[in-house]
Structure 1
Amino acid sequence: MNKKLHMVMLGATPPGRLTEQHDIFFGIADSLKDLVPEMKAFWPEAQIHIDAWREVTAVDGYSVEVTDKGESEESSNHLFFINLGGYIPGEFEEYHYKVLSVADSLAVASKVAKSTAFYEHFGFKGAESHIDDKYGIDVDDIYNVADILSAETKQRYSIRFTKIDGIPDDELHIGYVKIDKLLKS
């Protein structure tokens, strides 16, 4: 199977908004191009583009593999997506940092998030770094990726984790990509 888990930062300026907004989409397919219909369904009211993406194949020293549903044994580990928010004094901006973590619980994933340099350095008294949308840790702010996949994807696929020492980090693809250009590739 060549299916891969993809993490995509979608961008758009929805009708009635003044600034570009972003959201994170997770999907499983052979290629990014194959996910375009699902990405459009995920954010139907916007003219979306891609600002960053990656094939999720390695996280926290684990290989991340897509399998057919029921093909792999149940694992105690899960893939968590965490969106950290933080501030810099004197800057009219909230900065964000996205974290993926393989862990057996929300508590462990939260600990990983709090150990990032972003969490330690993007905050100051009265404007502490936080896991969006609250100061501190809240279950609603951390997502098990398996839970936020589309219903069809959840029915068809599972995610398997294998600990591998020295596994290289995923390649990050950063930069603006028009959806129409992706469809023509």
Structure 2
Amino acid sequence: MTIEELQRQLDIIRAWRKIELSNARSIAERHQASAEIPYLCRAWTLMIYAHCDQALKLIAKAYLEFLSCNPRQNYDYKNVWLSFFGKEAMRKGGDERFSMCRNDSDEIRRRIISNINGREVFDSGSFSYTQLRFFTEWILQSSFDHTLYRGFCTTLKEKRDGIAHGENIIIENVSDCLAWHDPAINLLDDLVDSTINEATRH
């Protein structure tokens, strides 16, 4: 994968999400005075959460595909792999997996990226501040400042979890959703931009 292919892939991941979130905002703003607004705001909140969750995972997966073709000198291959598989490999794994804890060859690095990019890693967990922090610090290993999104992630997850678990959570104002909508758009842009910046330094 080239840097141009990575850019195209990340642009696709980001672009349609921004369009869909903007459409949700537009619908809610047009119906502010209607009895439907609490429903629209709840749906909008769930959409914001879902797009943040999936975009983070897809951006990381795309970057790892790029990394498998374009090795990075300052990428901490061993520790990111150990964070997922180290304890199991060191205590219970066979010789082949155990050797990945100690070896640092180019072939081992390619296998590390392949291991991390599997379903068991990316399908586990859901969007939260700690997941954003983990993905940006450990997987992307980028200069992305996750601390800027701590409050956004925390409050969005609380509302989303309540709605998803059937709690009687009312969100009645478009302004409440805008408190998550605008940071979500910024998050999508910042994640893509910081990932591309990291990739161009390979």
TM-score, normalised to structure 2, is 0.21
Higher strand share: 1
Higher helix share: 2
Higher relative contact order structure (alpha carbons within 8 Å, sequence separation ≥ 6): 2
TM-score, normalised to structure 1, is 0.23
Q: Which has the larger radius of gyration?
A: 2
